[in-house]
Amino acid sequence: MKMVFNNKRSFMKSEFEQGHHWCRHRVKGCGFRMTIGREAVLDVLSRTEDHLSAEDIYMLVHETYPAIGLTSVYRTLDMLVNIGLVYKFDFGDGRARFELAEGPKGKDHHHHLVCTGCGRIVNYRDFIDEEVALLKKTEEGLSKKYNFAITNHLIQFYGLCEGCRKK
Amino acid sequence: MKMVFNNKRSFMKSEFEQGHHWCRHRVKGCGFRMTIGREAVLDVLSRTEDHLSAEDIYMLVHETYPAIGLTSVYRTLDMLVNIGLVYKFDFGDGRARFELAEGPKGKDHHHHLVCTGCGRIVNYRDFIDEEVALLKKTEEGLSKKYNFAITNHLIQFYGLCEGCRKK
DNA sequence: CTTGTTATTGAAAACCATTTTCATGTGCAA
DNA sequence: TTGCACATGAAAATGGTTTTCAATAACAAG
């Protein structure tokens, strides 16, 4: 899986040309240039179900594209969050975590269950439909009453997983 | 409203002895000493509907009890969060915000509507009952399926308030 | 009311995720 | 191919929060 590239161009062509067309178009459509670093960050995000921190992403991208700098990872993530391609979460451990807004197989709306003991995060899709239905209704009511244009919501459950409960 | 005290003891007796019995008992019941600083932090939290940052609290406590240090405010808040007397929130502006778990007039369960433009936060109680009912159901399902002991949940809506939308 | 133990405190320094600066490099439209 | 605005990496700065450590104070026991 790990590969070494002689130069940046060979890296770019080899594996990324295939996927993430929509992402790339979105980035360019928003007036940003599609660079190797940005492509690599998107690629890392698209290959995982985990909730990676900026440094996690930096280290993963670094494996195949060592020229990347942590600063650029932060800047790229910031841009991707701004154009809505990536979600940024705070699970209470002092570092932001990131997730592709649209999963590899299309829409993949889920919410999070966080273990306050070990930090483990479960993506759950159960009850999502009911939750989203209620959220939509709530959203409409709140929009009207408080005159907000609601763009997003966040639902998380906190608790202790089995392992952490035994301590 | 602003008062100056000659010494710490007079400060303590003058206004706090009356309120927050439950808080104080809880703190002591958990094996912690009830100090003037802790009392003052609880007092500030109990007098507001706002979502104060540690520094906000420090400055407010400082008005009547200048001997307090920012460090102690952080330590007190951490302790209060740990024993469940205070909730800690992240609204995405890089600083934690705190809120008494039980409002001045008893239970006051609400969720938050956050303006991503100016950071304004609305405490809404509308739809809370329906939300809580669904949350409870979801909670049970998740507990069973993922073997979590769920202790808490978080719901927030993000959007732009009227003022911020005009820009 | 004293006293002794031990938790708590304030100040300063350390920490650490994130942001900014700035000179260099590069995507891409022309 | 070329030019230039945007993007980048390294290093330094930022800023909220935590740690360190010696001094202080809460409070249980006497």
Q: Which of A2-11, A31-40, A44-53 has the lowest mean pLDDT?
A: A2-11
Structural domains in chain A plus CATH codes: 1-108 (1.10.10.10), 109-167 (3.30.1490.190)
Q: CA A113 → C1' D9, Å?
A: 37
**Across residues B84-104, what is the average pLDDT?**
92
Radius of gyration for the alpha carbons in chain A, expressed in angstroms and rounded? 18
Point out the least confidently predicted range of A79-83, A127-131, B115-119: A127-131
pLDDT band at residue B11 under the 50/70/90 scheme: very low
B54: confidence class by pLDDT, cuts 50, 70, 90:
very high
Flag whether pLDDT at A6 surpasses 70.
no
Measured between CB atoms, which of B146, B154, B159 is closest to A155?
B154
Confidence of residue A166 (pLDDT cuts 50, 70, 90): confident
In whole angstroms, what is the distance from residue B16 CA to residue B46 CA?
11
Structure tokens at A126: 């159960």
Which of A148, A10, A157 is CA-nearest to residue B149?
Answer: A157
In this predicted structure, the answer to whether residue B56 has a pLDDT above a threshold of 80 is: yes
Nucleotide in closest CA–C1' contact with A73: D8
Q: Which residue is nearest to nucleotide D27 (CA to C1')?
A: B33
Query: What is the average pLDDT across A149-156?
Result: 94
Give the residue-averaged pLDDT of B97-106: 80
Contacts of A156 in chain B (CB under 8 A): 153-154
Q: What percent of chain A has a predicted confidence (pLDDT) above 90? A: 74
Looking at residue B19, what is its pLDDT? 54
* Closest nucleotide C1' to the C-alpha of A8: C26
**Under an 8 Å CB criterion, which residues of A touch B?**
88, 90, 92, 113, 115-116, 122, 124, 126-127, 130-131, 134, 137-139, 141-143, 145-162, 165
Average pLDDT over chain B, rounded to an integer: 87
Asked if B152 and A142 come within 8 Å (Cβ–Cβ), the reply is: no
CA-based nearest distance A22→chain B, Å: 25
* pLDDT for A99: 96
Rounded average pLDDT over A123-148: 92
* pLDDT > 70: percent of chain A: 86
- pLDDT above 90 covers a percentage of chain B that reads 74
Q: Answer yes or no: do A157 and B147 touch at CB < 8 A.
A: no
| Helix A54-64 × helix A36-46 angle, to 10° | 110
Alpha helices in B47-103 (DSSP H): 54-64, 70-82
- Taking contacts as CB-CB distances below 8 angstroms, the residues of chain B near A113 are 142, 146, 148, 150
Q: What is the pLDDT of residue B104?
A: 56
Q: In 3D, which of A12, A38, A10 has the Cα closest to residue A24?
A: A38
Region A67-87: mean pLDDT is: 97
Q: Give the A:B interface size as CB pairs under 8 Å.
A: 120
C-alpha span between B29 and A64 (Å, rounded)? 55
Mean pLDDT score, B33-51 = 96
Q: Binning pLDDT at 50, 70 and 90, where does residue B126 land?
A: confident
Q: Is the pLDDT of residue B7 over 90?
A: no
Interatomic CA distance for residues A11 and A43, integer angstroms: 12
CB B88 within 8 A of CB B97: yes
Cβ distance B153 to A150 less than 8 Å, yes or no, reads no
Quick check: B13 pLDDT over 80?
A: no
Mean per-residue pLDDT over chain A, rounded: 87
A150 → chain B, closest CA residue:
B159
State the SS3 of chain A. CCCCCCCHHHHHHHHHCCCCHHHHHHHHHCCCCCCHHHHHHHHHHHCCCCCEEHHHHHHHHHHHCCCCCHHHHHHHHHHHHHCCCEEEEECCCCCEEEEECCECCECCCCEEEEECCCCCEEEECCCHHHHHHHHHHHHHHHHHHHCCEEEEEEEEEEEECHHHHCC
pLDDT for position A5: 33
Q: Is the dihedral of CA A41, A45, A47, A52 positive or negative?
A: positive
